Chain A
Amino acid sequence: SQTIHQWPATLVQPVGSPLSLECTVEGTSNPNLYWYRQAAGRGLQLLFYSVGIGQISSEVPQNLSASRPQDRQFILSSKKLLLSDSGFYLCAGTGSGTEAFFGQGTRLTVV
């Protein structure tokens, strides 16, 4: 089955510090991968999606960046976190099946 391992589950970071969230995929090759954010009291917002190694599309201008160094690895980064970066970050993928599969999410609190 297709699975995503996403870590860490929770993270508290000071303003101005860097960020690196990683997700890795198992059970499928060449998946489409997505980073979503759910801010407190708000809906799911697509941040980045990738259709292959080195291919990143950004949906919204922001303080974050994404990279896909390997087929099954998708990384969300920031050089300097802002308070507004706090939220629940979710890595998702679509592969050979019709359903998306998800990581368990990372709750990021910027203090």
Chain B
Amino acid sequence: DQQVKQNSPSLSVQEGRISILNCDYTNSMFDYFLWYKKYPAEGPTFLISISSIKDKNEDGRFTVFLNKSAKHLSLHIVPSQPGDSAVYFCAASWGHNNDMRFGAGTRLTVKP
């Protein structure tokens, strides 16, 4: 059962434009959400996170939005840069046990 879903396997964006990566989840117990960035043959690296008590968190060019009623979150990258090209994973966790689930990932390609 895939509790965290990224329905777009790939996304292509022009340099300087906005990239919007989407993620949906099914488990209402999730209370903390994270985005990770992964380059080929490397482990993912943490990018940005948001707690369920917030609906927006911003860090430089990266902003994560959370819509709890829709069980949906998104990552906005503005402006997009070629170096942002990577696979982005959405993750969700819950409870003191900090169990975590990842989406399948979205491959972002930023074209110069």
Contacts and interface: CB of A to CB of B under 8 A. Distances in A.
5 contacts: A44-B102, A92-B100, A98-B32, A100-B36, A102-B43
Nearest to A103: B43
Q: Could you tell me the dominant secondary structure of chain A's interface residues?
A: strand
Interface residues of A, number: 25
Interface string B86-112: 000101010001111111110000000
Interface in B35-57: 36, 41-44, 46, 49
A4 B41 CA distance: 15
A108 to B, nearest CB: 12
A104 B43 contact: yes
A19 interface: no
B104 A94 contact: no
Given A43-B105, A45-B104, A107-B41, A100 B91 contact: yes
Closest 4 CB pairs of A and B: A43-B104, A102-B43, A43-B105, A94-B98
